[in-house]
Structure 1
Amino acid sequence: MESMQHHEQHVQLCFDCAAACERCATACLREDHVMMMRECIRLCRDCADFCRMCGSLTARDSAFMMPFMVLCADVCDACADECSQHDHEHCRACAEACRRCADDCRRLSATA
């Protein structure tokens, strides 16, 4: 039962992270110096896709969810590292969401 609860929490963390990444990418597109935000936007979009897939795989208890969590954590780390370089509230919020998701991905994948 505890494992199922952790999986449900992980699904929510994944979708929350995807939403934070989407908000960040959208806000970055509105920045005055949008060309300086290209890598942030690219990584946010990649991360949002990975997090949605990870959440979906976890929700359906896929046999592939654990190895995908490892990859998702790496993408979340890359996105968090990039977002941390920018002094925008949306980037800070995205970096925090990415770190939470990456930590949870690693924690769950280590229990497999």
Structure 2
Amino acid sequence: MAHRIYANELETLHDCVETCNYCLESCLEERDVKMMVDCIRLDRECAAMCSFLAEAMTRDSAFVPELARACAVMCKACAQECEKHKHEHCQECARVCFECASMCDRLAA
């Protein structure tokens, strides 16, 4: 039943996971991968955090507000790192992560 209550939020989290994973894979194909290391790491961590929050939401966990707060921090960090890079995949990831962070901030309130 919780998945119905959180349908929009789960979709936002799923979009963020997909976008972070795409950004991560795309960064690995860039010429100067060393320059992308922080972006790759944050993409991976952000995707994992969003996945974990989505799982907690489907279980209707009592910890959703706390997890959402942590997820917002992670999404903002990922977005800020992605913004530093001019690649289209990084810019898209930044946009999606900022949207997800806003949603997480609302959940945490």
Shift of 1:71: 0.2
Identify the residue that residue 91 of structure 1 maps to in structure 2. 90
Identify the residue that residue 75 of structure 2 maps to in structure 1. 76
Counterpart secondary structure, 1:17: helix
Identify the residue that residue 37 of structure 2 maps to in structure 1. 38
Shift of 1:6: 5.8
Is the Cα–Cα contact under 8 Å of residues 11 and 56 in structure 1 kept in the other structure?
no
TM-score normalised by structure 2 residue count: 0.94
Counterpart secondary structure, 1:31: coil
Identify the residue that residue 103 of structure 2 maps to in structure 1. 104
CA distance, structure 2, for counterparts of residue 4 and residue 91 of structure 1: 29
CA distance, structure 2, for counterparts of residue 41 and residue 47 of structure 1: 10
Identify the residue that residue 27 of structure 1 maps to in structure 2. 26
Is the Cα–Cα contact under 8 Å of residues 17 and 97 in structure 1 kept in the other structure?
yes
Is the Cα–Cα contact under 8 Å of residues 80 and 95 in structure 1 kept in the other structure?
yes
Counterpart secondary structure, 2:6: helix
State the Cα deviation string for residues 33-81 of structure 1 (Å, max 9, x = none): 0000000000000000000111111122111111000000000000000
What is the root-mean-square deviation in Å for CA atoms of aligned residues?
1.4
Which one-letter code corresponds to 1:106 in the other structure?
Answer: D
User: Structure 2 regions of 5+ residues with no counterpart?
Assistant: none
Identify the residue that residue 66 of structure 1 maps to in structure 2. 65
CA distance, structure 2, for counterparts of residue 89 and residue 68 of structure 1: 29
State the Cα deviation string for residues 78-101 of structure 1 (Å, max 9, x = none): 000000000011001111110111
